[in-house]
């Protein structure tokens, strides 16, 4: 869905927290958009995920997963209300 004039509401690396924010926005009928971002770019992310699943995961169960940032955007006019809700 295209939402004009977006303002960044939350940036987080925890997908559980982003899901919580998404649930609040949905429950209050506030349009939003979520974008994922990685410092490594799409090719680096692909390489990281393949390496993690094939090499690291079998060797180290507690290995750290590649970091992905999640950005949640809302309309500028909904920003104050969304901040108050979350």
Query: Residues in the chain with pLDDT < 50?
Result: none
* CA-wise closest residue to 85 among 13, 9, 33: 9
B/e letters for 12-42, b = 16+ CB within 10 Å, e = fewer, are eeeeeebeebbeebeeeebebebeeeeeeee
Residue 63 is classified by DSSP as: P
Helix (H, G, I), strand (E, B) or coil at 43: helix
Q: What is the pLDDT of residues 41-52, one digit of tens each?
A: 666 666 666 666
* Domains in the chain, CATH or no CATH each: 6-85 (3.30.70)
Residue pair 44/74 in contact (Cβ under 8 Å)? The answer is no
Residues 59, 64, 69: CA angle, nearest 5 degrees: 145
Q: What is the pLDDT of residue 41?
A: 63
Q: What is the pLDDT of residue 5?
A: 79
Q: What is the pLDDT of residue 48?
A: 65
How far apart (Å, rounded) are the C-alpha atoms in residues 34 and 29?
Answer: 15
Verdict on whether the full-model pTM lies above 0.75? no
């Amino acid at each position: 869905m295209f939402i004009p004039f977006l303002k960044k509401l939350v940036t987080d690396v925890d997908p559980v927290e982003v899901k919580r924010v998404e649930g609040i926005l949905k429950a209050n009928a506030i349009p939003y958009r979520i974008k994922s971002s990685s410092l490594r770019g799409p090719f680096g992310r692909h390489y990281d995920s393949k390496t993690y699943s094939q090499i690291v995961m079998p060797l180290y169960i507690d290995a750290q997963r590649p970091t992905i940032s999640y950005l949640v955007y809302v309309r500028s006019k909904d920003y104050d209300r969304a901040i108050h809700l979350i």
